[in-house]
Copies of this chain bind each other. A is one copy, B any other.
Amino acid sequence: MNTFGRNFRCTTFGESHGLAVGAVVDGCPPGIPLTEADIQPYLDRRRPGKSPLESGRQETDRVEILSGVFEGRTTGAPIALLVRNRDVRSKDYDALRDVFRPGHADYTWQAKYGLRDHRGGGRSSGRETLARVAAGAVAIRCLEPCGIAIRGRVLEVHTATEPEAMEAEIRAARDAGDSVGGIVEVTAAGCPAGLGDPVFGKLDAAIAGAMMGIGAVKGVELGEGFGAARLLGSEMNDQIGEAGFLSNRAGGVLGGISTGQDIVVRLAVKPTPSIRKAQQTVDIAGKGREITVEGRHDPCIAPRIVPVAECMLAMVILDAMLEQAKYREFGE
């Protein structure tokens, strides 16, 4: 299943070391001004190789809009977005062809499909998120005139919460041939109340599915999240004054529907599984092997997940807005 969304639908394709990665956006409202320049900045933020603390893969990640835009505006037709892969060094992966890297999808992909494109993780590579970002940037463009703004940031790396300390954690891990995890927070401001569709299309359920579907994410929470388990009802409930809610412990969603407050989501990101430290594994024949994963990897993937999470959140919210718009005109 490579399509996300019910109303604003994003279908992605492409492998890490194939010819291209891309997306088809279907259900985009017509009449929205859109050019490659609206999308490129998001791809640039996600792009590897921007700092010594990221994978050294060199990609320009230039996006081409193949369809769905006419004279600078969306037409309601599907928008195909294409990025050609450039810096493909598949030879790096020859040694890994028949070995399952711990923490990666190698073993499970093989179990599921019976064969796999092992080069750079193939379809299971983080490079696929490029396509989500391209599609999500279109969603963000649609949300702008509605006054909805989405912002993400790294909240923690390992145990550090300050930028400098976080960077130090990443550097230390890299130097040790290891990697570290972190926590990412994404917020959406300006959402109207009423988004989300009980009981199986709840906004928080859609957000949780979208976020957990990003590689390396192992947990998702809204508002107080896991902290809510340790609160009393009188502490957790957001009371309401005549000017609006008095707090936002719910994280902007009640009963699966947006309250109109900021939507606040946090993701637990596991450490990048590719590490140089020796690990025990097996090959495709089940024979024991020791592995050290060379190649170009991010010692902490949390920073590059930020734009991905923003884009997924944008798609969920736009999808919910389109859903909600359906019912405006009916009733007597």
Contact = CB atoms under 8 A, between A and B. Distances in A.
Contact of A229 (B18, B33, B183, B272): B183
Contacts of A79: 13
Interface in A196-251: 196-202, 204-213, 215, 218-242, 246, 250-251
A219 B222 contact: yes
A304 interface: no
A274 B156 CA distance: 34
B205 A67 contact: no
Interface residues of A, number: 153
A50 B199 CA distance: 26
A123 B114 CA distance: 38
A116 interface: yes
Given A14-B80, A108-B255, A330 B142 contact: yes
Contact of A77 (B15, B30, B183): B15
Nearest to A289: B240
Interface in A267-305: 268-275, 277, 279-282, 286-288
Interface string A294-331: 00000000000000000000000000001111111111
A40 to B, nearest CB: 17
B325 A255 contact: no
A181 interface: yes
A148 to B, nearest CB: 12
Contact of A326 (B12, B218, B274, B322): B322
Give the number of copies in the complex.
4
Contacts of A221: 218-220, 226, 268
A76 to B, nearest CB: 4
A164 interface: no
A331 B114 contact: yes
A66 interface: yes
A4 to B, nearest CB: 4
Nearest to A330: B29
A51 interface: no
Contact of A233 (B20, B75, B178): B178
A30 B103 contact: no
A288 B328 contact: no
A22 interface: yes
Q: Which of A24, A30, A124, A246 has the most B CB atoms < 10 Å from its CB?
A: A24
A8 to B, nearest CB: 9
A259 interface: yes
A42 interface: no
B11 A103 contact: no
Contacts of A258: 108
A190 interface: no
A198 B129 CA distance: 12
A151 interface: no
A58 interface: no
A50 to B, nearest CB: 21
Given A20-B67, A218-B251, A256-B213, A3 B1 contact: no
Given A22-B80, A208-B208, 7 more contacts: A31-B330, A31-B331, A75-B116, A76-B113, A145-B332, A227-B268, A237-B275
